[in-house]
Amino acid sequence: MNAGCFRLVKKVFIASLALFLLSPIFAQQERKPLILQEMTWTDVRDHLRTNDMVIIPLGSTEQHGPHMPLGTDYYEALGMSKLISERTGVVVAPVLLSGYSEYHSGFAGSLSLKPETMEQVLFETAQWLIKYGFRRIMFFNYHGGNRVVENKVIHRINHTTEAIAVAIGAGAPFQAGEERIEGVDFDEHAGISETSMMLHLRPELVDMDRAEKPELNFTPMMGKLFVMNQKYRELGIVLGALLAVPVEAKKGGASHEISSNGIWSTGDPKRATAERGERAVRRMVDRAVGFIEAWKKVDE
C-alpha cells in the first residue's frame, strides 16, 4: 500500500471511529420528549418494557399580571417536564390545565378546581397508568396552590396502590434554593423570577411592554411579620398562612387584596431576563434529572 492510500485509509478510519464514539451524544441531543398524548398505544406498550416511570406536570390557569398568560404555571411545569423527558426518556402525561387557584379569582380568567376534585382526577389518572404498568409516578408541580393536593394524592397512591409516587418539582426536598435578586426581598408570583422563566421557555407569550411594578397592600399583621421574619425565620409559616387564601377567609391574603395588578413582588418585572430564566430552569431540570438517574440505578 502506497503512502497516499495509507493516509486515505487512516482518515476514513479516524472519521468512522469519531462518528461511532459521538453517535450516542448526537442521539441524546436529538432525543425528543415523550408526551403520552402524542404516542400511540403500541408506543406506550413497547416503552413500558424498559421504563415504568411517568411524570405528571401540575400547573394552573390563573392571572400572572398584565404581561403574562393565564397558563404560565402550566407552561412552566410542562416545559420543564419535557426538558427532563428529553434527557431521561421518561414519559410525560399532562392531565390538567387548571389547579387550585381560588385566591386569584379577583382577576378575570382565573380558573380553579376544588382540592378534592383535583385530587380525585389525579388519583384516577394514576390508577389507569398503574393498570398499564407504570410503577414510578413523579409529579412536577410548579404552582404553590397545588402542594396540598400533590401531597394528598402522593400519600393516597403510596398507601393504596402498588406504585410509588414522589414530588420532583417545586417543593421537592432536592429543589430547595433559588438565585437571589439584589434589592428584592419578596418575589413570589409573576415577578422578576417567574417572568424570566417564561422569557426563556415561552417568550412569544410575554409582553414586556405591559410589565409594571405593582402597588402592594399588606395588612398591618403581614407587614409586621415581614419585618420580624428577617430575625425570626420560623415566623414564615405564619405569614404563609395569611397569604394566598380566598377573600372569604378575611385575612386580606387574596391576590387582588395584595396586589394592584396581580404581581406579587417588591421588584420591577422589567428586570427579568431570559438568561436568568434559563439558569433557573436548568437548575430545576438538572436536579430532577439527577434524581431520576439515581432512581434508575436502584434496578441495576
Q: What is the pLDDT of residue 30?
A: 58
Confidence band, pLDDT 50/70/90 cuts, at residue 25: very low
Q: pLDDT (tens digit, 9 = 90+) per residue, 247-284?
A: 999 999 999 999 999 999 999 999 999 999 999 999 99
What's the predicted TM-score (pTM) here?
Answer: 0.89
Residue located via cell numbers 406536570: 57
Order across the sheet with 91-92: list the strands: 34-35, 91-92, 53-58, 136-141, 164-167
| CA atoms of 281 and 179, how far apart (whole Å) | 11
| CA atoms of 168 and 166, how far apart (whole Å) | 7
Mean pLDDT, rounded, of the chain: 92
Q: pLDDT (tens digit, 9 = 90+) per residue, 30-83?
A: 589 999 999 999 999 999 999 999 999 999 999 999 999 999 999 999 999 999
| CA atoms of 148 and 164, how far apart (whole Å) | 18
Q: Are 77 and 59 in contact (CB under 8 A)?
A: yes
Q: pLDDT (tens digit, 9 = 90+) per residue, 219-234?
A: 999 999 999 998 999 9
Confidence band, pLDDT 50/70/90 cuts, at residue 27: very low
Q: Is pLDDT above 90 for 21?
A: no
Confidence band, pLDDT 50/70/90 cuts, at residue 176: confident
Q: Is pLDDT above 80 for 14?
A: no
SS3 content of the chain, % helix, strand, coil (to 5): 55, 10, 35
Q: What is the pLDDT of residue 299?
A: 84
Find the DSSP H helices in the chain.
Answer: 3-30, 41-47, 72-88, 115-132, 147-160, 192-201, 220-229, 236-242, 255-258, 274-297
Domains along the chain with CATH numbers: 34-179+282-297 (3.40.50.10310), 217-258 (no CATH)
For 13, 73, 125, the CA distances from 142, given in Å and listed in that order, are 49, 6, 19
| CA atoms of 201 and 76, how far apart (whole Å) | 7
Q: Is pLDDT above 80 for 118?
A: yes
Instruction: Count Cα neighbours of 156 within 13 Å in the Cβ-side half-sphere.
Output: 16
CA-closest candidate to residue 194, choices 179, 183, 174: 179
